[in-house]
Structure 1
Amino acid sequence: MTPDEVGRYAESLPLVKRKGTAARPAWYVQDRLVVRLHDPTTLVVRVPLGEREALLDAYPESFGVPPRMEAHHKVEAYLDRAEPAAVRAAIDLAWEMQHR
């Protein structure tokens, strides 16, 4: 999945708006982060802590949680090896969590 595909998918969800910069775009719903491009091949996706382990177990090659994110509602998605369906599933979880 490319960053452009991530953006198109995120923006297809209700109320999601693109913010950030050209180099580090981010998508928010009602000013709450859904997903952000960290670098050209890495996304940061907000996910509920209760759903994070299931996501990591289902798609171990697609996601990781670096030590700096362990206490946060976030995962990294590795676009160079992530399954597109996995990335969309994580974005959906983030949207559901942030859309209140």
Structure 2
Amino acid sequence: MTSEEVGTYVESLPLVKRKGTSSRPAWYVHDRLIVRLHDPNTLVIRVPLNKRESLIESHPETFGVPPRMEAHHKVEAYLDRAEPGAVQTAIDLAWQMQRR
């Protein structure tokens, strides 16, 4: 999965706005973060804590939580080995959480 594919998918969701820079784009709904590109290969996706573990268990090659994010509603997705459907699911969870 590429960052361009991520952008195309996120921008297809209602009310999503792109912010950030060209090298570190981020997508928001109601000024609440959904996902941002941390580096060329890593996304940071905001997800509900009660869904995060199941994402990681179901797709350990796609997602991880570094120590700095353990207390936050976030997960990293590694684009070079990400399953596109899993990334889209995480983005959908973030969008649903943030659009309220």
Report the TM range for the smaller structure's normalisation.
Answer: over 0.9
Q: Does 1:31 align with 2:31?
A: yes
TM-score when scaled to structure 1?
A: 0.99
Q: Does 1:60 align with 2:60?
A: yes
Q: Could you give the per-residue CA deviations for residues 15-64 of structure 1, whole angstroms, max 9, x where no partner exists?
A: 00100001100000010000000000000000000000011011010000
Distance in 1 between residues matched to 2:93 and 2:20, nearest whole Å? 21
SS of the equivalent of 2:72 reads: coil
* RMSD of equivalent CA atoms: 0.4
1:77 matched residue in structure 2: 77
Distance in 2 between residues matched to 1:15 and 1:35, nearest whole Å? 14
SS of the equivalent of 2:82 reads: coil
Q: Which runs of 4+ in 1 moved over 2 A?
A: none
Identity across aligned pairs (percent)? 77
SS of the equivalent of 1:68 reads: helix
Alignment gaps of 5+ in structure 1: none
Alignment gaps of 5+ in structure 2: none
- Count of paired positions: 100
